[in-house]
């Protein structure tokens, strides 16, 4: 499709009325370029910054302070229809990075089997006069292509319109499933990749690029102004300790990324003590800061000892400000951190035999399941009661801590949390109505009395009661939280599995840096309850999980007066 067949003046006019007014002379454009199935003609003399399946062109007027950045996002698979494609792209490219309104006014044009939806928003950027952000999304033939323009000077409007008008999209070529030009992006997640003696599983939704000296993975939904990459490094064939291998690997990774190591209290990086994983191999990990082109980044290095060599993985991530105050790393997002930990602890090696391990479930016999009760705080600074929800798994694992797993138990690999939090995870034995919880800090006696589980802690018996399964639970009605900044967060459920959120999800997600809270914007979609988790599938493509223990809930009543949801068991009151 030749995009000049569609009128963009209507869309552009919508954007310009936000703050700029009308315009100006033409600027010369260069030779036609291509990214995947997208051809375009970039403005002459503008700076070009290519990334994986993304290319940006920028121009800055040093005299006036005016600037313009045009970014092309190569083809990805459509999420279903043009409206959903636009909603998904708007959330990723406008709401997340610029805090734009969630439901903007749009203009739509169609031609030759393509639907083009455009919108824009006035935005505020630090150190700049007010600017405009414009998004144009092409949808058709199972593909989606997006263009973003950010500018603060009306003199750039003609260049933007001419650029979009030069675009051609090939409707005959199949898109990649994610924003990636990887040669291996269509490989099934179930089929492991290989690098040397290492086998790995690509995180779902991440791109993969293979090189002679490593493999690089990047999340396809990463905001355009952030960076995050997992990189498999070449193995280190050397003698010595894990600590020595970590030091050498951190130095190599810093040089590989052309970064200067930043000093912190305990040196250039902090590290965890070397230990043996549930897979049987020994490992160590460290994290520090790098200064790359006067920008702070985080570098994490994971080193595994296999026979007479060290296998290595590096994680490089940007560090950003949110709203000029709070700072965050890309991996502060739960979804990215979970993907990284699952990747690291699923690594396998051709010359290492891992132990056979059983998968844990709350649906086994005996005391397997989720229980709830109160017990004395484990903190040494104060004596107080805390609600505990211990989890006993069929494979002998136990979780005994004051905070239930943040996203519930659905999809949780229960072997990984003990690697990250040794204090609250352990094992248990139980036979003939009695047993013990074995934790790193104590052995705690347990016994059953009727329908109660008695946990003896600090020489005191504490009764716990088993929670019912919540699988297949449905809700019906509008529920609210207490007022936040003068507004009442609410969420509406229907018993056929649909929801509409108006602020409640943002609060129950309990991430107070808005830039990394996936529930920051309201939305709607479908929900499903299983394994003490509620899975919210938004129509704009977001996927969010909240813990749901089912306390004070029975399946026969979809509209109880109150619902308790999230790991914090936030109280929702029916209207």
What DSSP assignment string belongs to 454-521? Answer: EEEETTEEEEEEEPPP-TT----EEEE---BTTB--EEEEETTTEEEEEBHHHHHHT---GGG-TTSS
477-574 fold: Lipocalin (2.40.128)
Please tell us whether the domain made up of 3-169 is placed in CATH 3.40.50.1470: no
- What pTM, to 2 d.p., does this model score? 0.67
**Domain residue limits, the chain:** 3-169, 193-349, 369-405+416-459, 477-574
- How many CB atoms within 10 Å of residue 352? 17
The answer regarding whether domain 193-349 maps to CATH 3.50.50.60 reads no
pLDDT tens for the chain, 575 residues: list them: 554 444 444 344 444 333 333 333 334 445 788 888 888 988 888 998 888 788 899 999 888 888 999 999 988 877 667 887 888 888 888 888 888 887 888 888 887 778 889 999 888 877 667 888 999 998 887 788 999 999 988 888 888 888 888 888 876 544 443 333 333 433 334 468 999 999 999 999 999 988 888 999 999 999 888 999 999 999 998 889 999 999 999 999 988 888 888 876 566 778 889 999 999 999 999 999 998 888 899 999 999 999 999 999 999 999 999 987 799 999 999 999 999 999 999 999 999 999 988 889 998 889 999 999 988 765 555 566 788 999 999 999 999 988 999 999 999 999 999 999 889 999 999 999 999 999 998 899 999 999 999 999 888 999 999 999 999 999 999 999 999 989 999 999 999 999 999 999 999 999 999 999 999 999 999 999 999 999 999 999 999 999 999 988 998 899 999 999 999 999 999 99
pLDDT at 83: 82
Q: Is the separation of the CB atoms in 352 and 281 below 8 Å?
A: yes
Q: What is the pLDDT of residue 8?
A: 41
Establish whether domains 369-405+416-459 and 477-574 are of one fold: yes
Question: Which residues are CB-contacts of 32 (< 8 A; sequence separation ≥ 6)?
Answer: 39, 40, 41, 166
Which whole-number Å values give the CA distances from 141 to 116, 179, 357, in the listed order?
13, 17, 45
Coil, strand or helix at 92: helix
Neighbours of 40 (CB within 10 A): 22
| Domain 369-405+416-459 bears CATH identifier 2.40.128 | yes
pLDDT score at 387: 86
Read off φ and ψ for residue 514, nearest 5 degrees. Answer: -60, -30
């Amino acid at each position: 499709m030749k995009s000049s067949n569609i009128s963009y003046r209507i869309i552009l006019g919508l954007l310009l009325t936000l703050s700029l007014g009308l315009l100006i002379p033409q600027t010369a454009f260069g030779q036609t370029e291509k990214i995947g199935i997208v051809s375009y003609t970039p403005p002459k003399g503008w700076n070009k910054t290519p990334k994986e399946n993304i290319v940006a062109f920028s121009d800055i007027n040093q005299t006036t302070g005016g600037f313009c950045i045009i970014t092309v996002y190569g083809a990805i698979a459509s999420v279903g229809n043009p409206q959903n494609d636009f909603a998904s792209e708007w959330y990723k490219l406008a709401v997340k990075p610029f805090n734009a309104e969630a439901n903007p006014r749009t203009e739509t044009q169609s031609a030759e089997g393509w639907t083009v939806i455009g919108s824009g928003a006035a935005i505020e950027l630090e150190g700049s006069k007010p600017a405009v952000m414009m998004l144009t999304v092409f949808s058709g033939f199972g593909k989606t292509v997006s263009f973003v323009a950010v500018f603060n000077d009306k003199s750039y409007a003609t260049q933007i319109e001419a650029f979009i008008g030069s675009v051609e999209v090939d409707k005959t070529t199949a898109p990649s499933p994610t924003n990636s030009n990887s040669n291996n992006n269509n490989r099934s997640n179930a089929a492991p990749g290989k690098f040397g003696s290492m086998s790995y599983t690509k995180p779902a939704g991440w791109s993969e690029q293979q090189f002679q000296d490593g493999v690089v993975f990047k999340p396809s939904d990463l905001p355009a102004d952030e960076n995050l990459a997992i990189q498999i490094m070449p193995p280190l064939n050397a003698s010595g300790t894990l600590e020595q291998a970590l030091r050498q690997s951190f130095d190599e990774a810093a040089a590989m990324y052309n970064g200067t190591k930043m000093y912190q209290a305990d040196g250039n990086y902090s590290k965890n003590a070397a230990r043996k994983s549930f897979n049987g191999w020994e490992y160590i990990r460290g994290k520090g800061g790098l200064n790359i082109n006067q920008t702070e980044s985080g570098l994490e290095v994971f080193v595994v000892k296999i026979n007479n060599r060290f296998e290595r993985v590096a994680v490089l991530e940007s560090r950003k400000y949110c709203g000029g105050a709070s700072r965050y790393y890309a991996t502060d997002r739960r979804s990215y951190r979970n993907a990284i930990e699952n990747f690291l602890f699923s690594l396998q090696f051709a010359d290492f035999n891992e132990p056979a391990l059983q998968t844990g479930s709350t649906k086994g016999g005996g005391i397997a399941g989720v229980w709830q009760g109160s017990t004395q705080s484990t903190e040494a600074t104060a004596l107080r009661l805390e609600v505990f929800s211990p989890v006993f798994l069929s494979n002998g694992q136990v979780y005994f801590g004051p905070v239930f797993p943040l996203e519930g138990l659905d999809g949780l690999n229960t072997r990984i949390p003990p690697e990250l939090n040794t204090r609250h995870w352990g094992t248990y034995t139980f036979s003939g109505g009695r047993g013990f919880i074995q934790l790193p800090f104590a052995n705690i006696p347990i016994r059953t009395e009727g329908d109660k589980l008695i946990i003896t802690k600090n020489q005191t018996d504490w009764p716990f009661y088993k929670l019912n399964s919540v699988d297949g639970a449905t809700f019906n009605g509008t529920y609210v939280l207490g007022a936040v900044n003068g507004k009442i967060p609410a969420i509406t459920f229907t018993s056929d599995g649909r929801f509409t959120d108006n602020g409640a999800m943002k609060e129950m997600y309990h991430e107070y840096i808005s830039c990394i809270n996936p529930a920051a914007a309201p939305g709607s979609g479908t929900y499903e309850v299983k394994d003490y988790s509620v899975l919210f599938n938004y129509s704009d493509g977001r996927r969010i999980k909240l813990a749901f223990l089912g306390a004070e809930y029975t399946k026969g009543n979809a509209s109880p007066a109150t619902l308790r949801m999230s790991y914090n068991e936030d109280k929702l009151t029916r209207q």
